Amino acid sequence: MASHIVGYPRMGPKRELKFALESFWDGKSTAEDLQKVSADLRSAIWKQMSEAGTKYIPSNTFAHYDQVLDTTAMLGAVPPRYGYTGGEIGLDVYFSMARGNASVPAMEMTKWFDTNYHYIVPELGPEVNFSYASHKAVNEYKEAKALGVETVPVLVGPVSYLLLSKAAKGVEKSFDLLSLLPKVLAVYKEVITELKAAGATWIQLDEPVLVMDLEGHKLEAFTAAYAELESTLSGLNVLVETYFADIPAEAYKTLTSLKGVTAYGFDLVRGTKTLDLVKSSFPAGKYLFAGVVDGRNIWANDFAASLSTLQELEGVVGKDKLVVSTSCSLLHTAVDLVNETKLDDEIKSWLAFAAQKVVEVNALAKALAGHKDEALFSANAAALASRRSSPRVTNESVQKAAAALKGSDHRRATNVSARLDAQQKKLNLPILPTTTIGSFPQTVELRRVRREYKAKKVSEEDYVKAMKEEIKKVVDLQEELDIDVLVHGEPERNDMVEYFGEQLSGFAFTANGWVQSYGSRCVKPPVIYGDVSRPKAMTVFWSAMAQSMTSRPMKGMLTGPVTILNWSFVRNDQPRHETCYQIALAIKDEVEDLEKGGIGVIQIDEAALREGLPLRKSEHAFYLDWAVHSFRITNCGVQDSTQIHTHMCYSHFNDIIHSIIDMDADVITIENSRSDEKLLSVFREGVKYGAGIGPGVYDIHSPRIPSTEEIAERVNKMLAVLEQNILWVNPDCGLKTRKYTEVKPALKNMVDAAKLIRSQLASAK
C-alpha cells in the first residue's frame, strides 16, 4: 500500500530558512549562501520521507516566499513596475514582487484560503507576456533525483492560479482572468514536457479552488484546460490535489471527468462529506489519494478510525489504487516533536507534528497492506484514551459560564453614535486622529532581554526595568511625532497570540513549534488542549505604566477571541465556537480590568476573523454569527466613554462588511493600502459606516517609506467615500517587523499628511 505527502514545512526545524532569508535581505550573505541553506533543507526533507517509506514524495513545494509567487515567476507574469526584461527570473525581481523595494511597492498579499499562511496575489491582464521564466520545478526534481530520491513535482494548477489572481491596476474589473488560460497553458506545456524529459513519472497539480462554490463557467474552464493539456500529460501519472474542505458534488463530477488525470486527492479530515461522493461514484481504474492524516492541526491521528475509513475505501477503489495521504500540505503544522522541550510527556503524547505525520501516513499504509505495527497502534490508542480522560481538559465552572451565554446577543447599551460623542468629550481628539496598530520594532537587544528573562538569566526586576525603558522610548517617540492616540509598543510580547495564551489556562506552548505565515515570518501557535479561563490580569500592569508616562490617550492592546482561536492549534474534541466563547469570557475579564485601571481606549484585535470564514457560502452565516458574538462578549460591559477599537488585516473584507459593522466596535483599523484600496469600493457602493474607521495608509510589510504626498493622496481617496469625522489615519498593521530607520520617517510622513489635510479642510470651510 502506497503513501503520499501533499507538501512539507520549508522553514526547517530551527527556522534555518528564516534566518538565511533575513541575512540575505540585510545584505549580510550572498544568494549562493541562501541557495545552499535551501538545498540542505530540501535534501533533509526528501531523505526523511524516503527513509520513512513514503512512495510519493513531493518536490517543488519549497518556496523562498510562497508557491503562488513561484508560479508567477514560472509564468514570467511580472508586473511592469519591477523592470523585468526577460530571461530566468532572479532573486532580485522575485523578492521585489514579494516585498517591494526603495522605488516601487510590493504586490498584494492575502490569506491562503482559510489559513494563516499568505500568498502574493498575481496581477494579470490582457497585456501580460507569459513566458517560461523560472525552471525551479524541473531543477528541484533533478536535484532530488541526483540524491537518489524519486519525487512527484508539484505545481499550482493553471485554473486555480488564474482564479486566485486579480486584474492588474488599470485593467477593467470586468476582465475575465480565465481568458488568459490558453497563454498560461502554453507555459505549463513547456514545464510538463521538460519534467517528462527529466524522467518524472508522476506530477501533482494542486487545484484547491475546486472546493469553493464555483459557477458553471469556472468548472468548464477545468474541463477545457485539462483537455488542452491531455496530449502533453500523456505518459505521466497525473494527480489533481484538492484540500481544506468538502468538494461540491458538481466540482467532484467535473474533477473525476478530467482528461489525462490518473488520480484525485481529497481532504477527508475537513471534507468528510466527500467520502459519500467517493463511495457513490468513483471512476474505475483511477487512484484515490485519501487525505486521512490532518495537515492543519497537531493532534495525533486516530489510527483505528483512519484504518476503518481506509478499509472501507479500499472496497470502493481497489487495493492497488488507494494511496494513504495527508489532508493537505504539512506546511501548516510545526516541524518535529523531537525538538520539544517545554511540553510535558502527557500532552506530548497527544500530538503529532509534520515529522510524526509522515510516520503516521506510512504506518497506516503498512497496516492497510497487512503489516500493522501493533506496538505503535497500541501506543496511539493509549494516548487517545489519556486525552479523553485527563482532568486537565475539563473545567466545569468554565463550561457553565460559557453555557450561560445563550439567550443574549451581548450588545452595548447605547448606539455607536452616542458612544462616539461621549468618547470625544473625554478624549478631545482632532479630526483625522492618528494612531498606530500596536507593536513597535523589536530590536535585537529587546529580544535578548526577553529571551534571557524566560531562561531565568535576568531577574524580574531587571526585566521590568528594561521593558519600562523601552516603553518610555516608544511613548516619547510618539509624542515627538505628535501622534494622537498612543500605544506602548508591546515590548513584552514576542507574538500577539502566544503572549495571551501563556497566561490563560487550557493552553500549552512549544519551544520550537514554528509555522510559516509569509516570507520569513514565522509564528508559534499555542495548543488549546482544554477549557480556557484567565487566572489573573495579563496586560493591565504594562498599559497602566505606559498611560502614566503621557497625558495623551494610551491604548490597551488585546488579541480578540476569534483571532486567538484561528491562530492556535485548537482542540478537536468540541466545536470551535464553544472554545471561542470560553476565550471571549477570559478577554472580557481583561477588558473590564483595563477600564478599571484607567485605560480609556482598548483595542481588541480581530486580525483573523475573516480568515476563519468557511470556504463554502452555506456555512458563512453560522460562523459569522458566533465569531461576531464572541467579539461583542468581550466589551459589552464597558462604559460609553470607553472607546473600543479593533483591527483586521490581509484578507478580503468586502463580502463580510455587514458582519464587521455588526461587531459594533467604536473604531476599526483595517488593512487597505497593499490591496489597492479595494476596501474603499464597498463604501463607494453605498454601504454606510457610522463608527470610526482607519483604512491603512501605508504597507508595513515593505521596507519602502511612503512620502507625505503619497499618504495624503490616500487619505483624500478615503475622504471621497467616508465622513471626515469618522476617519482615522494609521498604518496597515503593527510595526514589529520593521526597523526604526524605516518606522520614524514613515510615521512622520503619516502625521504630516494628516496635518496637511486638516489644514486644507479647515481653510475650505
Domain-embedded: residue 34: no
Yes or no: say if 22 and 520 are a contact pair by the CB < 8 Å rule.
Answer: yes
Q: Write the burial class of residue 405 (CB in 10 Å: 0-12 exposed, 13-18 middle, 19+ buried).
A: middle
Yes or no: say if 314 and 368 are a contact pair by the CB < 8 Å rule.
Answer: yes
Based on DSSP, count helices (H) and strands (E) in the chain, helices before strands.
27, 22
Yes or no: say if 285 and 277 are a contact pair by the CB < 8 Å rule.
Answer: no
pLDDT digits (tens, 9 = 90+) for 720-738: 888 999 999 999 999 998 9
What is the pLDDT, as a whole number, of residue 4? 98
pLDDT digits (tens, 9 = 90+) for 559-607: 999 999 999 999 999 999 999 999 999 999 999 999 999 999 999 999 8
What is the pLDDT, as a whole number, of residue 559? 96
Yes or no: say if 479 and 552 are a contact pair by the CB < 8 Å rule.
Answer: yes
The mean pLDDT value of the chain amounts to 95
Per-residue DSSP letter, 56: B
Yes or no: say if 670 and 696 are a contact pair by the CB < 8 Å rule.
Answer: yes
Least confident of 56-65, 428-437, 490-499, 524-533: 490-499
Cell 447605547 identifies what position?
414
Residue 130 C-alpha cell reads as 507569459
Residues with a known catalytic role: 701
Query: What whole-number distance in Å separates Cα of residue 70 and Cα of residue 660?
Result: 33
Query: What whole-number distance in Å separates Cα of residue 53 and Cα of residue 362?
Result: 6
Got the DSSP string for 581-633?
HHHHHHHHHHHHHHHHTT--EEEEE-TTTTTTS-SSGGGHHHHHHHHHHHHHH
What is the pLDDT, as a whole number, of residue 612? 92
User: Which of 245, 261, 277 is the last residue before a domain boundary?
Assistant: 261
Domain-embedded: residue 52: no
pLDDT digits (tens, 9 = 90+) for 127-138: 999 999 999 999
Residues facing residue 507 across a β-bridge: 528
Domain-embedded: residue 470: yes
Known binding positions for Zn(2+): 647, 649, 658, 662, 671, 733
What CA–CA distances, in Å, run from 679 to 491, 618, 723? Answer: 31, 24, 15
Known binding positions: 18, 116, 437-439, 490, 521-522, 567, 605, 647, 649, 658, 662, 671, 733
pLDDT digits (tens, 9 = 90+) for 1-50: 799 999 999 999 999 999 999 999 999 999 999 999 999 999 999 999 99
Half-sphere CA count of 401, side-chain side, radius 13 A:
19
> Average pLDDT of 684-713?
89
Known binding positions for L-methionine: 437-439, 490, 605
- Whole-model pTM? 0.92
Domain-embedded: residue 101: yes
pLDDT digits (tens, 9 = 90+) for 603-661: 999 988 988 999 999 999 999 999 999 999 999 999 999 999 999 875 667 788 889 99
Cell 486525552 identifies what position?
387
Yes or no: say if 133 and 87 are a contact pair by the CB < 8 Å rule.
Answer: yes
User: Which of 214, 238, 261 is the last residue before a domain boundary?
Assistant: 261
Domain-embedded: residue 47: no
Q: Angle between the 740-764 and 460-481 helix axes, to the nearest 10 degrees?
A: 40
Yes or no: say if 546 and 479 are a contact pair by the CB < 8 Å rule.
Answer: no
Residue 508 C-alpha cell reads as 500549552
Cell 492588474 identifies what position?
168
Yes or no: say if 385 and 346 are a contact pair by the CB < 8 Å rule.
Answer: no
Cell 508559534 identifies what position?
524
Domain-embedded: residue 332: no
- The CATH number of the domain holding residue 753 is 3.20.20.210
Domain-embedded: residue 252: yes
User: Which of 235, 261, 287 is the last residue before a domain boundary?
Assistant: 261
Q: Angle between the 354-368 and 31-51 helix axes, to the nearest 10 degrees?
A: 30
Residues facing residue 120 across a β-bridge: 109
Domain that holds residue 543: 397-404+412-764
Query: What whole-number distance in Å separates Cα of residue 355 and Cα of residue 351?
Result: 11
| Tally of structural domains, the chain | 2
Known binding positions for 5-methyltetrahydropteroyltri-L-glutamate: 18, 116, 521-522, 567
Query: What whole-number distance in Å separates Cα of residue 43 and Cα of residue 147?
Result: 8
Q: Is the pLDDT of residue 675 over 70?
A: no
At residue 558, the 3 state secondary structure works out as strand
At residue 97, the 3 state secondary structure works out as helix
**What is the radius of gyration, based on Cα positions, of the chain?**
26
Domain-embedded: residue 687: yes
